[in-house]
Structure 1
Amino acid sequence: MTLESLFASLWQDYTVRLCPSADKVHRLLKEGDELINDHIALRTFNLSPVGIETLAKPFLDLGYQVCGDYVFEAKKLVAIHLQHANEKMPKVFISELRIELCSAKLQEIVEKLVAQVDKQALNKGEFLYRGRPWQISHEDYLTLAKESEYAAWLAAHGYGANHFTVSVNQLNHFTDVVDVNNKLRDSGFVINESGGEVKGSPDVLLEQSSTMADKVMVDFSDRRAEIPGGFYEFAKRYPLANGGLYQGFVAASADKIFESTN
């Protein structure tokens, strides 16, 4: 597997299964050259064998390095981000839910899900875009959703890109994130306004916004239901003193981006 084939497969899964509207966003913002993807985001639980290190391994094997770590206390999450020496390759943001901080009921449901995972399948990077490696009932999904949107989303969808991210820096027709938001609103998209429609500022060297998640149909073990899927993010990075663009993430902003799947 090459990095190009890995990201192509993640994009295919994302646009077909999780965020079908992504193609429309692409058409609205594309200016000739292919859009640059700033980063993708992946979610998991902090349980063996599906923790952060398992999701990171296929990328690390292909030349990525861990370049930052983050804590989201209110959401009971920790995260890392990976970068490649080739700056044209997307950054990878991987978060995990610390289930020991959650209720006994949530822990019971999640442990039941992870127990179904075929460990051998995790040795291949394909699991990153193959969806849900377990069965879950709609009732258990709703139980998780009452406590943790993150846990419910992951339990329902499994593995795949929670979002892709357009790099606003590359765009010629838009200089500000808010201009991208207005274009999307005019085209019928709903923008995540939790914490303000633009998260971050030039002072923290990063501005971000996102659409609210698509609604997609999911097959549970006992019924089929429509739930939030993936969303599309937009990021503008500001230069450091050395002239290069800031490459990290801002925890306070990312915290609000998570709410795009509420």
Structure 2
Amino acid sequence: MTTTEIFDSLWSEYSERTPSAQKINELFISKGNKIFNDHVAFRTFDDPRVNIEVLAKPFLAAGYVECGDYTFEAKKLYAKHYEHATDKNVPRVFISQLKVAEFSSELQTEVKKMIDAIPESELHTGQLVFKGRLWGQPSFDLYEKLQAETEYAAWLYVNGFCSNHFTVDINKLETFSSLQEVNEFLKVNGFKMNTSGGEIKGTPAQFLEQSSVLADRIPVEFKETTKEITSCYYEFAFRHEMANGKLFSGFVTGSADKIFESTDMKL
């Protein structure tokens, strides 16, 4: 697949599950802007059958290379980011995984059951990022048990392998010059921001400022009942120039830690 095919496919699925993203795009376009994506993010478990390296396969095949890694001690996550080796106009890719062994034996057992339930044929296609939930209808009881330990695992149990968020590249917007302006514009238009750790995560001194709206909620048919559960969210990133004159291209762990919470049910 080409990068265009990859991101068109990902956006099609993501925007269907995240109606607010399409509405926000329409608002930006109505103000004379063209939308560029800074990065797209995915979540997974550290099981070697579905880990970061497995989810990265279609991107590596399309010319991406690994550019950085990150550890989130409190949330027990590890992540890597990838950039295209030659085309700097395509989005970065950020993939995180849950360090399952650091959780209870019950959670470890349930995660193994999920992955064991994935058809063997799906595990070897190199296309997991497009596949969504591959372990059948979820149980609300299990969802709540996972949520008590980690929102990340509960979200992944319901949503499966998909784009967790796309990110608007604020540097490339024509009619906005700062993340503060973007946030005010979004709030005036009725969108709720993730305020965990502040509305804007990061500072010019860290060369990256990020914000996000709270995740959309969509009805999920559990075995026991139907409930509205967080799906995906839209993020916004403003990158600052470093001493060498280039825009910072990586990520800031402390900021990303709070961005993860955009899908938390409690927010």
Q: CA RMSD in A?
A: 1.2
Report what 1:13 is aligned to.
13
CA contact (8 A) 2:44 2:52 kept: yes
Note the alpha carbon deviations across 1:51-73, whole angstroms, 9 max, x for none.
11100111111100000000000
What SS is found at the alignment partner of 1:81?
A: strand
Report what 1:244 is aligned to.
246
How high is the TM-score relative to the length of structure 1? 0.96
Report what 1:4 is aligned to.
4
Structure 1: segments with no counterpart, 5+ residues: none
User: Is 1:207 the equivalent of 2:209?
Assistant: yes
Note the alpha carbon deviations across 1:161-194, whole angstroms, 9 max, x for none.
1100000101122111111111111111100010
CA contact (8 A) 1:200 1:206 kept: yes
CA distance in 1, matches of 2:166, 2:28: 14
Note the alpha carbon deviations across 1:7-32, whole angstroms, 9 max, x for none.
11110110112x11111010111254
CA distance in 2, matches of 1:122, 1:29: 38
Report what 2:227 is aligned to.
225
CA contact (8 A) 2:114 2:135 kept: yes
Q: How far off its partner does 1:118 sit?
A: 1.9
CA contact (8 A) 2:194 2:214 kept: yes
Give the 3 Å change call, closer, same or farther, for CA 128–16 of structure 1 in structure 2.
same
How high is the TM-score relative to the length of structure 2? 0.94
What SS is found at the alignment partner of 1:242?
A: coil
AA of the residue aligned to 2:27: L
Q: How many residues align?
A: 261
Matches within 5 A, 1:176-191: 176-191=178-193
Report what 2:23 is aligned to.
24
Higher mean C-alpha deviation, range 221-230 or range 174-183: 221-230
Report what 2:174 is aligned to.
172
AA of the residue aligned to 1:116: A
CA contact (8 A) 2:54 2:126 kept: no
Matches within 5 A, 1:96-107: 96-107=97-108
Q: How far off its partner does 1:225 sit?
A: 1.7
CA distance in 2, matches of 1:60, 1:157: 24
CA contact (8 A) 1:44 1:51 kept: yes
Higher mean C-alpha deviation, range 189-198 or range 122-131: 122-131
Structure 2: segments with no counterpart, 5+ residues: none
CA distance in 2, matches of 1:130, 1:217: 19
Q: How far off its partner does 1:147 sit?
A: 0.9
Higher mean C-alpha deviation, range 46-55 or range 212-221: 212-221
Matches within 5 A, 1:119-138: 119-135=120-136, 136-138=138-140
Report what 2:52 is aligned to.
52
CA contact (8 A) 1:58 1:124 kept: no
Higher mean C-alpha deviation, range 141-150 or range 220-229: 220-229
Q: How far off its partner does 1:131 sit?
A: 1.1
Higher mean C-alpha deviation, range 134-143 or range 145-154: 134-143
CA distance in 2, matches of 1:125, 1:194: 35
What SS is found at the alignment partner of 1:78?
A: strand
CA contact (8 A) 2:42 2:164 kept: yes
